[in-house]
Structure 1
Amino acid sequence: MKSYIVGVGMTKFEKPETRDWQYWDMAKEAGTAALTDAGIPYGLVEQVPVGYCFQASTAGQRAVYELGLTGVPVYNVNNNCATGSSALMMARQLVEGGIADCVLALGFEKMARGALGGGSDGGDFKTSPVARHYGIMAAGHGFEMSPPTAQIFGNAAREHMDRYGTTEAQLAAVAAKNHRHSSQNPNAQFQDVYTVEEILAAKTIHRPLTKLQCSPTSDGAAAAVVVSERFVTEHGLRDRAVEIAAQAMTTDTEESFASGSCIDVVGRPMSRAAARQVYEASGLGIEDVDVIELHDCFSVNELLTYEALGMCEEGASGKLVESGATTYGGRWVVNPSGGLISKGHPLGATGLAQATELVWQLRGEAGPRQVPGADVGLAHNIGLGGAAVVTLLRRA
């Protein structure tokens, strides 16, 4: 059974405490926008998976009650930074499994200012869900006072530089591209353009990563209406419909930890496995993809993801971004929204915001950042701990 996205919506992503709103306010804004985009009332929604990381249990219900009190099942989803795409995957499974014809996937986050921690409980990394990941990092690189997530990705960048000759300028080129893209996105948290030299000169967070190569904490929400083919036909939504051609979620395997490399610990193996499953299920390959929204929580992760998705050989990602192959006029346009680095990263909303951007792109509704002739889009979303979700979307 096929599934389709027929409505998407999101709030502007903003620096925490910029706007005087609660998480249910932002959820209402994004959810209402998605339903309006689909042209359907909330009363037709049969189930609602809701993603978030930092609010209390059943915050999903509190948020959804702002859309309507219809009594439908609400599921609270938490999968670290892959939470939004996990909610989308649950929506797709409910539809493709024949359990529901219309599901609303919703994600939101209201975050605190400052650097994101490492997913620990009270700062005790011994009890943290990602203790094993940080233990691998500490064994190879030690543990410093810089933010832990910046450390583990920064150390992955150092390994990539040492192993493949990747340069700091190539890492900065990722951020320069995504900041440039975000200048055309009114929903992006940042819309400033920076040169590679300005990015390299910014404050160092954990060498070689500077502040402008790190995604910020953000407030925001995003949503998608996922429906069956029967629902599309009955409600005359073919012109709004974007097919979920394939989707896969993977978690860490022995490969993630066996090498002792931060490159593997931060998710390249599970991203590679998820991409392989999606290509096999859809019959499409990376050569068929036009536009990509991927998880650039730090600039190095965009490079690692190029390799995991099969866009280049292992170790060649620095040269790929440097060549212009991943921006307008190149082979693919990667992160036309500005990505996490510039659009922002409210954890529970990120994966659904990626889907929102791709739906707009595949419908030809992305305005000045439109990728010409986009027919196939790919979303990649990861969370340490770990989860990698790859979603392939195709214009219906």
Structure 2
Amino acid sequence: MSLKRRVFVVGVGMTKFDKPGKALADAGVKYTDIQQACCSYVYGDTTCGQRVVYGLGMTGIPVYNVNNACSSGSTALMMARQFVEGGLSDCVLAVGFEKMEKGSLSAKYMDRTNPMDKHLESMIDTRGITDSPITAQMFGNAGLEHMAKYGTTADHFAKISYKNHKHSVNNPYAQFQRHYTLEEIKSSRMISDPLTKLQCSPTSDGAAAAVLVSEDFVKRHRLESKALRYWVRRW
């Protein structure tokens, strides 16, 4: 097996629905340097990825549309990394964007089998079902299972939200920028045990992008001062 190449992030950008040009500007590279693009979204028609990158140029590069629920963005980023790591490309753009509908997530198509049907059947058989949003029930029940298996407590989950809300105060791109105490998070309205309102994600619109490159690309373009090694921890 050939050795895997090291992968570096040389530019990032986060915008309120804008072209992903900020990541390119941050990287100091041209769109013509991009050899492939991995585009992630959930709520949109087919080929939305092409619509986004064609605004930067129609260079004929392969464009991959990634729809993988909550992990769509991280999946696109991982794909971009694998293209560089495996030697298929030296410079790949990963971009994610979303325009959501108001309210809680729900099934979009009613004329076909829901892709989550088997998962839902298992959850209902195990935990039942309530009037709470289905996604909150899925994650809440996953939390209950984790608690039963490993002794996790509700405080452990609440502290995750405490940390995230605390970080939001210093993040100009966060939808909400307010710090909550641990007690405020725990005492907010229960959505699906053990998750309270302040532990659930709101529907949000936005976009982000990253430019991933090989070590050779970094050296050729003299990007050492801004290149960050893309590490993946394997458990």
> Do the structures match in fold with TM over 0.5?
yes
Aligned partner of 2:115 in structure 1 is 129
Aligned partner of 1:180 in structure 2 is 166
Aligned partner of 1:194 in structure 2 is 180
Contact 1:27–1:64 (CA<8 Å) still a contact in 2?
Answer: no
The answer as to 2:231 corresponding to 1:245 is yes
Q: Secondary structure at the match of 1:82?
A: helix
The answer as to 2:92 corresponding to 1:103 is yes
Q: Give the letter aligned to residue 40 of structure 1.
A: V
Deviation at residue 230 of structure 1 after TM alignment: 1.4
Contact 1:10–1:33 (CA<8 Å) still a contact in 2?
Answer: yes
1:239–1:146 Cα change, 3 Å: same
Aligned partner of 1:11 in structure 2 is 15
Which structure's relative contact order is higher, taking Cα pairs within 8 Å and 6+ residues apart?
2
Show CA shifts across 1:361-393 (max 9, x none): xxxxxxxxxxxxxxxxxxxxxxxxxxxxxxxxx
TM-score, structure 1 length as denominator? 0.55
Unmatched 5+ residue regions in structure 2?
none
Aligned partner of 1:157 in structure 2 is 143
Hey, what's the Cα distance between the residues in 2 that align with 1:7 and 1:155? 38
Show CA shifts across 1:284-319 (max 9, x none): xxxxxxxxxxxxxxxxxxxxxxxxxxxxxxxxxxxx
Match for residue 21 of structure 2 among 32, 40, 46: 32
Contact 1:27–1:106 (CA<8 Å) still a contact in 2?
Answer: no
Q: How many percent of aligned residue pairs carry the same amino acid?
A: 54
Deviation at residue 104 of structure 1 after TM alignment: 0.8
Q: How does 1:39-50 map to 2 (within 5 A)?
A: 39-50=28-39
Hey, what's the Cα distance between the residues in 2 that align with 1:194 and 1:142? 31
Hey, what's the Cα distance between the residues in 1 that align with 2:94 and 2:157? 33
1:157–1:98 Cα change, 3 Å: closer
1:2–1:177 Cα change, 3 Å: closer
Q: Secondary structure at the match of 2:230?
A: strand
Contact 1:42–1:68 (CA<8 Å) still a contact in 2?
Answer: yes
Deviation at residue 69 of structure 1 after TM alignment: 2.3
Hey, what's the Cα distance between the residues in 2 that align with 1:71 and 1:121? 32
Match for residue 215 of structure 1 among 201, 215, 228: 201
Hey, what's the Cα distance between the residues in 2 that align with 1:84 and 1:181? 20
Aligned partner of 1:20 in structure 2 is none
Deviation at residue 220 of structure 1 after TM alignment: 0.8
Hey, what's the Cα distance between the residues in 2 that align with 1:233 and 1:104? 18
The answer as to 2:66 corresponding to 1:114 is no
1:94–1:166 Cα change, 3 Å: closer
Deviation at residue 162 of structure 1 after TM alignment: 5.0
TM-score, structure 2 length as denominator? 0.89
Q: How does 1:67-106 map to 2 (within 5 A)?
A: 67-106=56-95
Q: Give the letter aligned to residue 201 of structure 1.
A: S
Hey, what's the Cα distance between the residues in 1 that align with 2:175 and 2:156? 23
Hey, what's the Cα distance between the residues in 1 that align with 2:98 and 2:92? 20
1:170–1:92 Cα change, 3 Å: closer
Q: Secondary structure at the match of 1:224?
A: strand
1:157–1:102 Cα change, 3 Å: closer
The answer as to 2:62 corresponding to 1:58 is no
Deviation at residue 128 of structure 1 after TM alignment: 1.9
Hey, what's the Cα distance between the residues in 1 that align with 2:79 and 2:175? 28
Larger Rg: 2
Unmatched 5+ residue regions in structure 1?
13-25, 248-274, 277-396
Hey, what's the Cα distance between the residues in 2 that align with 1:157 and 1:204? 14
Q: How many residues align?
A: 231
Q: Give the letter aligned to residue 52 of structure 1.
A: Y
Contact 1:27–1:107 (CA<8 Å) still a contact in 2?
Answer: no
Hey, what's the Cα distance between the residues in 1 that align with 2:193 and 2:156? 14
Q: Give the letter aligned to residue 189 of structure 2.
A: K
Q: Secondary structure at the match of 1:245?
A: coil
Hey, what's the Cα distance between the residues in 2 that align with 1:183 and 1:49? 30
Show CA shifts across 1:196-217 (max 9, x none): 2222232221123211010111
